Structure 1
Amino acid sequence: MTLRHQTFLDRVTERGEYDTPEEADRAARVVLALLGAHLVGEVRAQLAARLPEGFALILLNPLTSAEPLSPERFVRATAAWIEGATEQTATWDVSAVLSTVADTAGEDLMGQILLQLPAGYDLLFGRPQPT
């Protein structure tokens, strides 16, 4: 089931405690563009199918990444793309967006997503995995 754009944005706004929907939208766009560079094939397509159309297109046309970023570098890259962001605020942005993505994806797809990502992303999604 695809989530409506406004519903997705409302959840990100609430989790990120943003003052405006525009701030949440900017965070969502940056984080999804970076995430899209890390996911391939059917997993990326399945996740895109569950996101609102505008965000799905961002996921499917990602920023290119020469190599998979560690969770720490993913946060730093997010900070670099959001004007005025620090690593602390970017961690908050990443968490607000990715926890919403995780809820949208569901458990089965989340398992597949985490298999495509470097270790440690489970925490960014708010889904700590048993070690």
Structure 2
Amino acid sequence: MTATTPGTTAPRTTIPRTTIPSTPLSRPTAPTPRAAEDSRWALLVESVREAGQYPTTREAERITRIVLSALGGQVIGDERVALARALPEEAARVIASQIPATRRLTAPEFVDSVATRIEGATPATARWDVSSVLSVLPPLIGEALTTRILNDLPTGYALLFGRADLAARG
């Protein structure tokens, strides 16, 4: 501290100014229900991208929509409702927008029907695409619902869902 004599002034010191923000600090907020649903859809598409080894998210999303659209016509009744409830909202809309088929397709017919929806697809590439989408569904929708859906579909779909089809059905 500097001593001053009477009649003199103390040296001027600069006091640092603090900046007060003009807007209140924002707190992190919980994601909105819409954002949570969007992230569930993004996770589904990312799972398909990884399973199918698609080069882009856009390609995986396109394949996901095509396969779910085809599946939406095959799954009917309570299983269709439960499937839509278990899936992200965007996927549920794709499933629910389809008119239920009057004749259920066998698994090979299902794959062939998907092949007609994908430009340049062969039966082998369509099977890859179908399996890439359907095989990621069981962890998402649960084993119990997967079993119910498979029991309701004609035989042969289990392999598309990534399961062995060992049970004989009557």
Q: What TM-score results when the alignment is normalised by the length of structure 1?
A: 0.92
Residues 38 and 116 of structure 1 are in contact (CA less than 8 Å); yes or no, is this contact kept in structure 2?
Answer: no
Structure of higher CA gyration radius:
2
1:92 alignment partner in structure 2? 128
How far apart, in 1, do the equivalents of 2:62 and 2:68 lie?
10
Q: How does 1:1-131 map to 2 (within 5 A)?
A: 4-62=40-98, 65-131=101-167
Deviations 1:6-45 (A, max 9, x none): 1101000000000111111111111111111111122111
Q: What TM-score results when the alignment is normalised by the length of structure 2?
A: 0.72
Moved more, 117-126 or 57-66: 57-66
Aligned CA RMSD, in angstroms, stands at 1.5
Deviations 1:90-131 (A, max 9, x none): 111000100111221211111110111000100110111323
The Cα of 1:77 is off from its aligned counterpart by: 0.7
Moved more, 117-126 or 46-55: 46-55
Q: How many residues matched?
A: 130
Gaps of 5+ in 2: 1-36
Gaps of 5+ in 1: none
Identity across matched positions, percent? 42
Between structures 1 and 2, the one with greater helix share: 1
Q: Which has the higher contact order (CA 8 A, sep 6+)?
A: 1
- The amino acid across from 1:105 in the alignment is I
Moved more, 59-68 or 73-82: 59-68
Residues 37 and 63 of structure 1 are in contact (CA less than 8 Å); yes or no, is this contact kept in structure 2?
Answer: yes
Distance 1:31 1:72, change over 3 A: same
How far apart, in 1, do the equivalents of 2:78 and 2:126 lie?
28
- The amino acid across from 1:80 in the alignment is T
